Amino acid sequence: MPKRIAVLVSGGGTNLQALIDAQDRGELANGEIAAVLSSTPNAYALERARLAGIPGFSFPKSQYPTAQALTAALVDKLRELRIDLVVLAGFMTILTRELFQAYENAVINIHPSLIPSFCGKGCYGLHVHEKALEYGVKVSGATVHFVTEECDAGPIILQKAVEVQPEDTPEILQRRIMEQCEWKLLPQAVALFCQDRLAVEGRIVTILPPKTQAM
């Protein structure tokens, strides 16, 4: 049975698109994008889901009194949809422990820096690249990690680096990191999860070799 994937989004959804494209190329081995859940009703990501024929659901942040209430509503929906893997792809709301309890080592996030640099509360989207340029780093990149209660601190699955160029603006660096890192790493990590090739022990994630097919 393919693993049922839910992608949680808030904005443009280019990482969602990378997952949809990978699925269309047959690269999400044993995985199927079953739903897209957005914290923003007018997110373009929902339009991408519609165009791909994937059910989309909106959970406007403003309709929930607390992050806990929003998380509880999301978990109910994820259970109803029989989701196996939750992917945070540009999801800009911090969720509470109810999600990680329901989906232990089954929630993954993409972050646009080399964690543990330029991450944590308030460090998201373009801000990450502004901070990296202000600091003067010569390389930056992206990280896919399991999500735990501590923001951006869960076990790292994959990372990839790019060089920072002297003339970079936050927007230029963001685009390079998306193209060269994020849109490749996220589908790879999802495919590994769906093939049961990620073993987690404490902070360490080991990538297991592919299972050999029975003849």
Dist. CA 143–CA 124, nearest whole Å = 13
- Interface stretch with ligand GAR, choices 9-17, 63-71, 157-165, 197-205 (CB under 6 A): 9-17
Asked if 131 is part of the footprint of ligand GAR (rule: CB under 6 A), the reply reads: no
Task: List phi, psi (to 5°) of 138.
Answer: -100, -15
Per-residue contact flags (x/-) with ligand GAR for residues 107 to 126, judged by CB under 6 A:
---xxx-----------xx-
Residue 74 in 3-state DSSP?
helix
Per-residue contact flags (x/-) with ligand GAR for residues 34 to 73, judged by CB under 6 A:
-----------x----------------------------
**129 counts as catalytic:** no
Dist. CA 124–CA 106, nearest whole Å = 21
Shortest distance in whole angstroms from residue 74 CB to ligand GAR: 16
Note whether 115 and 148 are within 8 A (CB). Answer: no
Asked if 182 is part of the footprint of ligand GAR (rule: CB under 6 A), the reply reads: yes
Note whether 159 and 189 are within 8 A (CB). Answer: no
Asked if 170 is part of the footprint of ligand GAR (rule: CB under 6 A), the reply reads: no
Cβ-based nearer residue to ligand GAR, 49 or 110: 110
Dist. CA 50–CA 54, nearest whole Å = 6
Half-sphere exposure of residue 22, counting CA atoms within 13 Å on the CB side?
Answer: 24
**How many residues in the shown chain lie near ligand GAR by CB under 6 A?**
17
User: What are the catalytic residues?
Assistant: 111
